[in-house]
Each structure stands twice: as C-alpha cells, then as structure tokens.
C-alpha cells in the first residue's frame, strides 16, 4: 500500500484528496503546514510527496529544499500543486528537484494520474535495480552462498548476511519471529535496524499485515501523539477530520518505533497504557479502541543508562523488551563491505540513469574495506552514491570517494564541509548528471521530446522546463 504525504494549508482540498487516494488503496499522511510536512516526511518515509507551493510560513520551495537536503528522503518523488503556473516559478521548482506539478484548480483524477505515473516510474527503476543486482552483485553473493534458511535475508536491500555475527542474529530472529513478543533492537546509527525489523515482520505470523514505521525523533510532541494514537475532529488546530493513528492503521500487523529513546515522557506514559491494555485513546477522544498490533522498537541509546538518568521509564523498557537484538556495526562485518558496496553501486547506477553498472576499482575497494565506517551501512551507501554522481568513466575510482576515504583519514581527523557549501556542491553535481542524462535520452529518441519524456517518466512540459532550466536547446526531430 503506497504511502502518500499530502502537504497543503487548504483543509477542504486535504479532505478531498485524502478520500480519493484512500479509496484508491493508498495510505495517506496529511500535513497542513510546511514544517509539519517536512517532519512527517522524515518520520514516515512516504513513497511520494504532493505539496502546495503557496503556503504561509514555510512555502513549498522551502519544503522541497528540506526534503532534498535530508539523505533518506532525497530521492522521494515530489509533485507540486500550484495555482500560478508561471514559467519562473515552475523553473524554480524544477531546479530544486521537483519531479512534476499539477496546476490548481485540478480534477482529482488528474492528481491521481500524476501520483500513479511517478510511482510507476519508481517501480520501473526498482525492477531495473533488481535486474542489475542479479547480473552484478548476484555473482558476488554466489561465491559464498548462505544457508538455505538465510537465502531470503541475503536479498534484503541494504543488508547482507555473510559475517558470523549477522548469521547468528538472523538465526535468533527466526526463533523469535513467530512469537507475539515485543522486540527491542539496539545498534549504532546507520547499521540497518529497520531492515532487521522488516525481516522480523516478514518471518512472523503477521507478515500479511501492514508494517508501519515511525521515526520518533523527527516529530514534535503534538504531531507524535497524533500519528501514534490518532485524533478526533477538532482535537487541535488543523484537525478538520477524525483520523486513526498508527496503532489502529497497523491492525493485524507491526508498528516499528525507531529512535525509541527520543520519546517524550508524556508519550511514554500513553504508550505503556497501550502495551498493557491493548487499547488506544485518540487525541481528543473519550472512548478507547481495541488494537491488535505487534511492537518492534529500535534505538542507538543505552536505555538502561537513560532509565538511571530519569529520561526513560523502566516499566516501558521491560514491556517492550520481550526479546532484544543488537545489530553489529559494519566495522565488525568487514566481509560484507565489498558485496554491500557492489549492491549500492548497481542501485545507484540505475537510479542515476547510467546505461551500465560501473565496476569498482581495486584501490577504491581497498579504501572502502580499510575505513572504520562510524556511520555504518548508511555512510557506505552515501559514499557510493556520491561516487557514482562524480564518476564520468566506466569504473568507480579512489578519487570519486569522499576525501577522507581517499586519504585514509580516521573519522576524528575529518573536517566537516559547511552545510551550505555541501548542498551547493551537490546541486551542481546533480545538475551535471541530469544534463548528461537528458542529452543521452534525447539522442536515443531521435530528438522526440514526447518519446524522451515518456522514457524518463515525466510529462513533456516538465521535460521542456528542465531543458530550459539547464540551458539546453530544445532539439528538433
């Protein structure tokens, strides 16, 4: 069930779009301000974002900038809603990284078509990634196949089960998966705790039900309560409709609470009540509702130390800790660095429009295997994606990796690049990558803009605006 985040200050429009997309089988998340929309994007990991341009406070352009500046949401499809389809405004949106736009007023079916088109494009990219991985990374995995019981876990995106600590972890998952126990997952930032949680869900008796993740650190207290417990109409400003929360939406499935250690004290109390009574009371509501969900939570914090400091409830800790697992850091799973790097390399090449998967130069691989990876799997993925964006040849070389890897510097010696400079550099790199991709596709399509737009998964007018924004001459057939 694809998750769509709708951001608009028009309550009536939100209600209409929510009703339409829900009837079409989407899970809808709504925000009435730009700031709330950014927070929900980080907390709920939507499959696509639809956002109004003209909103008070944080406007749509600022929302898009924040979305593209946050690594986990950088590639999320983004569609603008705009009442002013002027050339300069649209060009500004496309330059920031919007994928498409729908002009207000619009027919609801037009918005539905735009959403479905972007999701089809994402699905096509995923299919191409899977094919690339089958041809490239699959050969690496075949050299040392895991036990039959771990074959499926091997294929999970961003997680490989090759190192002995990971084999042991997944063997323990199998033992606990079928039980109704709540589970706590510990591990450093970026090790892949959510991937482990998803695998636990897939192996459980609730696998046919929904798996709904929530990053507890991304939301303020009011939004967090509304997302978890739901709210009744009029419970707070902007609550124009009654909405179920995660616990109700995940009926028969699993709720994954990431960054559990960041829960405010008031929310900890309400969560404990849900765990004890298996009932949820919506914000502004009076009648508790039964819920049937399994709880999996994750944190990078030492919860026992948090309990001693008075920042986390001891009774909640024991309620959630029916079973616990610790995901080992990447530096303790070095045998997985090379196959993970090739997996991310194949995926990045497809997502960035490469015609073939790059090879990994020996010097670059040696640098990857020697690095301590304080940011773990997430840091490795970001390094590979950056390298693919910079590489103009057929192999990812040492020079394409972040400077601290190329120089072999320890993490403490690395100097962080200012955020504004890093964002500007990234925008230049992406613009150059997009320019090359557009020229390549147009050449392959004989200059036909309509054919090129269809291949790229965008509308023809979007293609025209991107060509203009990048200073490219519109070709003749």
Quickly list DSSP for 161-178: --SHHHHHHHHHHHHHHT
Q: Read off the CATH number of the domain in which 423 is found.
A: 1.10.10.60
Domain termination residue (choose one: 126, 154, 174): 126
Give the 3-state secondary structure of residue 259.
Answer: coil
Closest C-alpha to 66, from 33, 29, 38? 38
Q: Kind of pairing, strands 279-280 and 289-290?
A: antiparallel
Structure tokens at 344: 């991310």
Does 33 share its domain with 119?
yes
In a domain, 155, yes or no: no
Does 107 share its domain with 219?
no
Structure tokens at 236: 């707070």
Q: Read off the CATH number of the domain in which 90 is found.
A: 3.40.50.2300
Does 314 share its domain with 174?
yes
Quickly list DSSP for 341-404: HHHHHHHHHHHTT-SSPPEE-HHHHHHHHHS--TTHHHHHHHHHHHHHHH--SSEE-GGGS-HH
In a domain, 132, yes or no: no
What tens-digit pLDDT sequence spans the chain (477 residues)? 789 999 999 888 888 898 889 989 899 999 989 999 999 999 998 999 999 998 988 999 999 989 988 878 888 999 998 877 666 767 777 777 888 888 888 888 888 998 999 898 888 877 777 676 665 443 333 333 333 333 333 444 445 788 888 999 998 998 899 999 999 999 999 999 999 999 999 999 999 999 999 999 999 888 898 889 988 887 776 666 788 889 999 999 999 999 999 999 999 999 999 999 999 999 888 889 999 999 999 999 999 999 999 999 999 999 999 999 999 999 999 999 999 999 899 888 887 878 788 899 999 999 999 999 999 999 999 999 999 988 888 899 999 999 888 776 555 433 344 555 555 556 666 666 777 777 778 878 888 888 888 887 778 877 777 777 666 766 655
Does 186 share its domain with 298?
yes
Domain termination residue (choose one: 126, 151, 181): 126
In a domain, 169, yes or no: yes
What is the C-alpha separation between 265 and 261, in angstroms, rounded? 10
In a domain, 112, yes or no: yes
Give the 3-state secondary structure of residue 144.
Answer: coil
In a domain, 399, yes or no: no
- Integer-rounded Cα Rg, in Å, for the chain is 23
Does 182 share its domain with 322?
yes
What is the C-alpha separation between 77 and 36, in angstroms, rounded? 18
Does 119 share its domain with 198?
no
Does 428 share its domain with 284?
no
Helices H / strands E in the chain, number of each: 21, 14
Does 56 share its domain with 172?
no
In a domain, 141, yes or no: no
Cis omega (within 30 of 0) for bond into 105: yes
Q: Taking a C-beta distance cutoff of 8 angstroms, is the pair 52, 84 a contact?
A: no
In a domain, 334, yes or no: no
Range of the domain at 438: 416-477
Q: Read off the CATH number of the domain in which 240 is found.
A: 3.40.50.300
If one counts the domains in the chain, the total is 3
Domain termination residue (choose one: 292, 310, 327): 327
In a domain, 258, yes or no: yes
Does 189 share its domain with 120?
no
Closest C-alpha to 120, from 140, 100, 150? 100
| Strands, sheet with 211-215, edge to edge from the N-terminal-most edge strand | 211-215, 254-258, 294-299, 183-186, 323-326
Does 244 share its domain with 318?
yes
Does 112 share its domain with 233?
no
Does 191 share its domain with 246?
yes
């Amino acid at each position: 069930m694809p998750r769509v985040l709708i951001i608009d200050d028009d309550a009536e429009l939100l209600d209409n779009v929510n009703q339409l997309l829900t009837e079409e089988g989407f899970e809808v998340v709504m925000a009435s301000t730009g700031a709330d929309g950014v927070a929900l994007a980080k907390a709920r990991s939507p499959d696509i974002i639809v956002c109004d341009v003209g909103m008070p406070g944080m406007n749509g352009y600022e929302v898009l900038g924040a979305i593209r500046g946050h690594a986990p949401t950088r590639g999320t499809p983004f569609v603008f809603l705009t009442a002013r389809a002027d050339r300069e405004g649209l060009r500004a949106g496309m330059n920031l990284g919007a994928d498409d736009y729908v002009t207000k007023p619009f027919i609801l079916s037009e918005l539905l078509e735009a959403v479905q088109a972007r999701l089809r494009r994402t699905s096509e990219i995923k299919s191409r990634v899977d094919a690339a991985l089958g041809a490239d990374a699959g050969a690496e995995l075949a050299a040392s196949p895991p036990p039959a019981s771990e074959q499926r876990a091997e294929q999970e995106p961003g997680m490989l089960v090759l190192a002995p600590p990971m084999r042991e972890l997944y063997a323990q998952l199998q033992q606990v998966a079928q039980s109704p126990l709540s589970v706590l997952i510990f591990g450093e930032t970026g090790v892949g705790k959510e991937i482990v949680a998803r695998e636990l869900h897939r192996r459980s008796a609730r696998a046919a039900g929904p798996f709904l993740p929530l990053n507890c650190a991304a939301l303020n207290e009011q939004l967090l309560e509304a997302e978890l417990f739901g709210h009744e109409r009029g419970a707070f400003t902007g609550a124009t409709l009654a909405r179920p929360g995660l616990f109700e939406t995940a009926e028969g499935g699993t709720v994954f609470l990431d960054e559990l250690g960041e829960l405010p004290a008031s929310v900890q109390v309400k969560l404990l009540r849900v765990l004890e009574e298996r009932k949820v009371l919506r914000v502004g509501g009076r009648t508790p509702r039964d819920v049937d969900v399994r709880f999996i939570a994750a944190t990078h914090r030492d919860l026992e130390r948090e309990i001693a400091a008075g920042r986390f409830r001891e009774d909640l800790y024991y309620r959630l800790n029916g079973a616990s697992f610790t995901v080992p850091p990447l530096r303790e799973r070095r045998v997985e660095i090379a196959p993970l790097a090739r997996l991310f390399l194949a995926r990045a090449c497809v997502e960035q429009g490469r015609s073939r998967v790059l090879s990994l130069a020996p010097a670059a691989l040696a640098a990857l295997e020697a690095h301590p990876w304080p940011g773990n799997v997430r840091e490795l993925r970001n390094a590979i994606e950056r390298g693919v964006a910079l590489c103009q040849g057929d192999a990812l070389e040492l020079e394409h990796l972040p400077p601290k890897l190329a120089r072999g510097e320890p993490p403490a010696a690395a100097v962080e690049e200012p955020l504004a400079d890093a964002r500007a550099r990234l925008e230049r790199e992406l613009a150059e990558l997009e320019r090359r991709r557009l020229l390549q596709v147009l050449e392959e399509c004989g200059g036909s803009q309509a054919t090129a737009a269809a291949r790229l998964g965008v509308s023809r007018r979007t293609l025209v605006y991107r060509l203009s924004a990048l200073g490219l001459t519109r070709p003749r057939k």
